[in-house]
A and B are shown apart, each in its own frame.
Chain A
Amino acid sequence: MKELREHRGIYGGVSVGAILLYVFILTRVEGEAGALFFAGFPVWVTAALLPFALARSFSGEWKASTHYFLLSLPVRSGTIALAKWLAPLTAAVLIFSVSLAGIDLIRVEFEVTGQLLEQFGATPRAVLRYVNTQYLATVVLLLGVAMAWVGVRQTVTGHGLVVGSLYVILTFFLYFQFMSPFHHLVGDVPSVWVPVIYSFTFGLAYTMAGFILFDRFTEI
């Protein structure tokens, strides 16, 4: 709760923004293209904002020296990292829930898109649901990347630019390196869902790595 309260500007802002967006779609948007665009695209902006908010919540503690208080509490450092990670995730889940519920409430008839997608055995609302699930998976992935970065910075002090560059390269390398083996591993799953599951899995693995590094190496 402290995390959500302290960073209510960013977490509250993106959540309220997403809710207002869907109120706008449900009450004002009439065109098919507009409904598809608004229901599918703008929430993705928050996928880029939330990982930065997570990283900033850690650096803010160090900048303000409040990490002295936080880390001296009788809990594991990893628990503190978990609490910080849960705050942007809560905002993402709220946005996802609103967008998912909103898809069924949109009054626009998707006639043209519906005919187009029919030949692929899909419906516009199913595609929107897929896009929004992919959004949540992407947030989990990027939050994991941000969390692991926080852990790496606790482990390797100094040489920020070099470590940062290597970290980004390694992250991309690992992400694409394991994509194909993962596809084979979950062979029975419809291929359209594989990237979603992969993003969730990779994001959670990175998150765990971040928790472990933060718990093991954080020092004042």
Chain B
Amino acid sequence: MVEAEKITKRYGSKWALREVSVRETAGRVVGVLGQNGSGKSTFFRILAGLARPTQGEALVDGQPPSHLTRRFTSYLPEVDPYYGWMTVGQLLEFAGRFYQGWDSERARVLLDTMELSEDAVIDSLSRGQRGRLKIVAGFAWPSRLVLMDEPLSGIDQPSRRRILDGLFNQFKTAEQTILISTHLVYEVEPFVEDVIFFRDGEVTLQGEADTLKRDRNVDLSKLFEEVAV
């Protein structure tokens, strides 16, 4: 589903990614783990077709990322990307026009789960509520690839586990591939099947989470400290 072959990204003299190679099959939940500034967001932007690699090649479902692959890709950026003047309902209606298979009923269920009102103006939402709105917009249609860039930032700690439980147990479809980036490793540990560790723009370790934990006899948080800090 996702392939990256030695992708490098440079902004001026700064290297954001260096020869990153990744291969993930469909249906997996992948933790993309690294500290802030380690290259996770750049990697996601390349997969979403919003940035081009300086060198190397990225493929999503066999195609270079573009507006065509965005037809089946949900990209949830780390920033708050929505128009403050819109209501939640208007935003979902606007987004729904662009995606085939947008499910308004599913969006309503997601809104209930995330405790959001359709009538709320986005400017009036807290940071955590805006984070939850991104999740609603990202899961309200049957995308095949979900790129969640630090989706838990701003969401209060008690809600995080509940939200992740709901997402992975209630809303994730079997064929959906989810890449979730975070530095809060313990939050996603119960859900991820594969992990990719980033440090200074490079992949330092990747593989099946259970195998890596078993082979090294440590949990993901400890592994994170060893290879990503």
Name A residues whose Cβ lies closer than 8 Å to a Cβ of B. 2, 6, 64-77, 158, 219-220
Which residue of chain A is the closest to B50 with respect to CB atoms? A220
CA distance A220 to B52 in the complex (A): 9
Residues of A within 8 A of B222 (CB): none
Contact between A71 and B50 (Cβ–Cβ < 8 Å)?
A: yes
- B218 close to chain A: CB less than 8 A: no
Contact between B67 and A68 (Cβ–Cβ < 8 Å)?
A: no
- B128 close to chain A: CB less than 8 A: no
Residues of A within 8 A of B186 (CB): none
CA distance A64 to B122 in the complex (A): 13
CA distance A75 to B12 in the complex (A): 28
Contact between A66 and B81 (Cβ–Cβ < 8 Å)?
A: yes
Contact between B67 and A69 (Cβ–Cβ < 8 Å)?
A: no
CA distance A207 to B51 in the complex (A): 23
Q: What sequence of 0s and 1s flags, for each residue 39-67 of chain B, a beta carbon within 8 Å of any chain A beta carbon? A: 00000010010111000000000000001
Name A72's contact: one of B77, B80, B83, B85 (CB within 8 Å): B77
Closest 3 CB pairs of A and B: A69-B81, A68-B81, A74-B70
Residues of B within 8 A of A67 (CB): 81
Q: What sequence of 0s and 1s flags, for each residue 12-25 of chain B, a beta carbon within 8 Å of any chain A beta carbon? A: 10000000000000
Q: What sequence of 0s and 1s flags, for each residue 82-111 of chain B, a beta carbon within 8 Å of any chain A beta carbon? A: 111100000000110011000000000000
Contact between A69 and B98 (Cβ–Cβ < 8 Å)?
A: no
Which residue of chain A is the closest to B134 with respect to CB atoms? A69
Write 12 A-B pairs (CB below 8 A) sorted by A numbering.
A2-B94, A64-B83, A69-B83, A69-B95, A70-B81, A72-B77, A72-B81, A74-B73, A74-B98, A75-B98, A219-B51, A220-B50
Contact between A64 and B98 (Cβ–Cβ < 8 Å)?
A: no
Residues of A within 8 A of B82 (CB): 66, 69
With A2-B94, A66-B81 given, is the CB distance from A72 to B50 under 8 Å? yes
Chain B nearest CB from A34 CB (Å) reads: 40
Name B50's contact: one of A2, A66, A219 (CB within 8 Å): A219
Residues of A within 8 A of B50 (CB): 68, 71-72, 219-220
Contact between A65 and B70 (Cβ–Cβ < 8 Å)?
A: no
- B120 close to chain A: CB less than 8 A: no
CA distance A6 to B90 in the complex (A): 12
Residues of B within 8 A of A219 (CB): 45, 50-52
Chain B nearest CB from A9 CB (Å) reads: 11
With A68-B77, A219-B51 given, is the CB distance from A74 to B67 under 8 Å? yes
Chain B nearest CB from A122 CB (Å) reads: 48
Residues of A within 8 A of B12 (CB): 158
Contact between B99 and A72 (Cβ–Cβ < 8 Å)?
A: no
Residues of A within 8 A of B45 (CB): 219-220
CA distance A70 to B52 in the complex (A): 17
Contact between B85 and A6 (Cβ–Cβ < 8 Å)?
A: yes
Which residue of chain A is the closest to B78 with respect to CB atoms? A68
Most chain B beta-carbon neighbours within 10 Å: one of A6, A69, A75, A77: A69
CA distance A71 to B77 in the complex (A): 11
Contact between B70 and A6 (Cβ–Cβ < 8 Å)?
A: no
CA distance A75 to B100 in the complex (A): 12
Residues of B within 8 A of A69 (CB): 77, 81-83, 95
Name A65's contact: one of B52, B75, B79, B85 (CB within 8 Å): B79
Chain B nearest CB from A146 CB (Å) reads: 22
Which residue of chain B is the closest to A217 with respect to CB atoms? B52
With A73-B70, A219-B51, A219-B52 given, is the CB distance from A68 to B79 under 8 Å? yes
Chain A nearest CB from B129 CB (Å) reads: 16
Contact between A75 and B83 (Cβ–Cβ < 8 Å)?
A: no
